[in-house]
Chain A
């Protein structure tokens, strides 16, 4: 096990494309790091660079205290699990797991013991003599993890390991990976485009876009305090509502003006007045998560602003009913208690918990408060 630090790492391809533009990430020994972002954001390239499969154009990567820039993959003490599992098709599960050990000239007895231990841990002992072609996706996934575990590396690298599994299995394996991490206290770097995987698995998340880390922090911090419009929209499902609104002064309060068919209200904001004052009269993007617009019964605090809204559509999900309304000509999703939700065409009193609402600059998309 070891810490990982990535300092000012850039990647430029021969044709001049910059895929990574100065990445800085550091995690401690035993932490679970998630690299998340839309496709093409450079997250897989970064993982390949940590693995040594791609060259680093500039910057440094260190595993433990050792700079590994020039080391070949086999000397970096890493193991990787791939999206396609990348099991060797001509080898049995046993051979797949022992291949790396064999190449490293591990004694036969140790190899056998390791294969046995790993197979028992992942419950694949009965599959040891099978070939990859004779197994289901979930079983292959386990074998791929087994191959990584057998090596007992300093860092585990996962490249979208669950995206080829069906939804149910994906959730199961997600829990197993988390369990494995808790048990082994291993350092893990995990690439995914799925923000739910990112939130549920990670100790630290690096949200990436266009070769830049948009935000690096704990899952809850990223959820509650998104650094910019992209992060706010990317993390969370259903995603945050972005309502274009004008900042107005109303008495001693500063708030945002929200209108629907029936008229307008001003939602006073409890944020830093000094920062808000500079935006009075200006157009901003008011970001508020669906669970922060809810019915009176679910809202847990008194004295929050209430607005009667006209319901367009409802989507019952079971535990919650999502109510869609139109505010400032924008579709807005609100998460309400199933028994409290009204029906389309009716009007419903919605409570706005503005304490966690955020404002973004429409031009720069940066966070205001």
Chain B
């Protein structure tokens, strides 16, 4: 393989290697640190492997670490995040699919304007919606609840999911819908029987995107939830910033990895469909 190695090639590989190290090094440090004892961390080199591999920091991060006054670890917050993310992803993706179907296949007077307005929704910064959203949640009686967070993420995410699905369905020949209408299929039959079965790739893209966005969100979590209902990102922040006693880097690292695991999992399971879904689109009749 080195026979064809030109200077240009070598430079490309060197750059790629550098990038890989740049991205992998923090992960390496996090992983090794999480398995080290506190003494090991204090005395040893940051890049060295643990002298003794210990899982104690992991169980502490999961079940005992203090996130403020409470000392029950990350577990409760992990489930909070699951309870928030799964419904929010499911609802926003489904809404996006229906919206995309309508604006691409059932043009009506003002449908383009509606789509443009939805598009603008993608560019609204989080900070702008904080106060109005807080008022709305208060009015609905959803303040400080997981359901409230789900609502926030659905509202904010629908703009993106609509855009995804609309751009996918616009590549589907509209003769398909015409044919189905002549065959006697109605609005929902066409959606469920004709379009959904070919929407696999865009669903994957949408789910990965939404899952990552919602799981990783900190701002909405910290503003609209408190105490028991906080998502894991907020808990992680609290855990790392709790300033009683010694700084336990190994526990911090383990907690951070726990917080990142679900998104890693989603990428590994569905990642290869992600690129395919982004580039695919044209459905060959």
Contacts and interface: CB of A to CB of B under 8 A. Distances in A.
Interface of A: 14, 48, 51-53, 72-74, 78-80, 82-91, 99-100, 103-104, 132-133, 140, 147, 151
Contact of B183 (A48, A53, A74, A89): A74
Contacts, number: 71
Contacts of B179: 80, 82, 86-88, 147
B184 A104 contact: yes
B247 interface: no
Contact of A83 (B175, B183, B194, B284): B175
B182 A90 contact: no
B26 interface: no
Interface of B: 109, 173, 175-176, 178-185, 189, 193-194, 197-198, 283-285
A74 B182 contact: yes
Contacts of A103: 183-185, 189
Given A86-B173, A89-B198, A90-B198, A133 B284 contact: yes
Contact of B283 (A48, A89, A140): A89
* Interface SS of B by simple majority: helix
Contacts of A84: 173, 175, 285
B176 A88 contact: yes
A53 B198 contact: no
Contacts of A53: 178, 181-182
16 contacts: A48-B178, A51-B178, A51-B182, A74-B182, A74-B184, A78-B182, A79-B182, A83-B175, A86-B285, A88-B180, A88-B194, A89-B197, A99-B180, A99-B193, A100-B182, A103-B189
B163 to A, nearest CB: 23
A99 B194 CA distance: 10
Given A53-B178, A86-B175, A88-B180, 6 more contacts: A52-B182, A80-B182, A90-B198, A99-B185, A100-B184, A151-B183
Given A89-B285, A90-B198, A80 B184 contact: no
A116 to B, nearest CB: 19
Given A87-B285, A90-B198, A80 B185 contact: no
Q: Which 10 A-B pairs have the closest CB atoms?
A: A90-B197, A100-B183, A74-B184, A86-B175, A86-B179, A103-B184, A82-B175, A73-B182, A84-B285, A73-B181
A103 B285 CA distance: 22
